[in-house]
Amino acid sequence: MKTLTNYIFIFLALACNAQESNDVTNELSLAEAIDSLNIDKSKISVLIDKSDFRLYVRAGELVLKDYPVVFGKNTIDEKLMQGDKCTPEGKFNMISKYPHKDWSKFIWINYPNEDSWKKHNVAKNEGRIPRDAKIGGEVGIHGVPKGLDFLIDTKYNWTLGCISLKNKDVDELYPFITKNTIIEIRK
């Protein structure tokens, strides 16, 4: 009966264009949303929108679930060099993922990738960053130190360039991210 109720809820939400409000499946866990809609897990992608502080888990254009997130201290600019406290923009994949002693889980993305290097070198050539600037790395998606969920609730951008969400949210997301998952970060 619960599955039938979930199907009805999701159908009605979609029929009312609930995708725009992202309320389609936030009442369900991500696993329940994927299972109830019979989503092929290999079709899952992640969209991180810096302008609205949200991480969207999608299957095609359908938003399965969204989570509040925060970023590096500078949310306006794009990451061009190590130490700029910006979060990179572009399309990435996961390099690795592992439990983390300080913030629950860490999903390491492939920043810098080829596009990141192009942006970095253009910024150097245009004099927007120092000629000896390093590009940086070790950017990922992770939780918060234990007991500090308020950092997410208050949109306090505390990372050096990573994407941070509540520990319960990164724990829910973690099993569905693979090396083939497209992770897009945009303004």
- For the residues of 136-164, what is the DSSP string, one character each? ----EEE--STT-THHHHTT---BSS-EE
Q: Which of 182, 181, 183, 136 is nearest to 159 (CA)?
A: 136
pLDDT score of 5: 39
- Class of the CATH domain delimited by 2-186: mainly beta
Structure tokens at 141: 């998606």
pLDDT band for 16, please (50, 70, 90 cuts): very low
Share of the chain above pLDDT 90, in %: 84
Q: What is the dihedral of CA 25, 76, 108, 118, to 10 degrees?
A: 120
pLDDT score of 99: 94
With vertex at residue 91, the alpha carbon angle to CA 133 and CA 161, rounded to the nearest 5 degrees, is 45
At residue 49, the 3 state secondary structure works out as: strand
> Higher-confidence residue: 106 or 9?
106
pLDDT over threshold 70, residue 15 = no
pLDDT over threshold 70, residue 125 = yes
Q: Which helix (H) or strand (E) holds 107?
A: strand 104-109
CA distance 89 to 117: 12
Pairing assessment for the beta strands 62-68 and 183-186 based on DSSP bridges: unpaired
Over residues 36-61, the pLDDT tens digits come to 999 999 999 999 999 999 999 999 99
Q: What is the dihedral of CA 41, 43, 113, 22, to 10 degrees?
A: -90
pLDDT score of 26: 76
CA distance 82 to 134: 6
Q: Which pTM does this prediction carry? A: 0.85
Instruction: Give the chain's mean pLDDT.
Output: 88
Over residues 85-120, the pLDDT tens digits come to 999 999 999 999 999 999 899 999 999 999 999 999
pLDDT score of 25: 59
> Higher-confidence residue: 26 or 90?
90
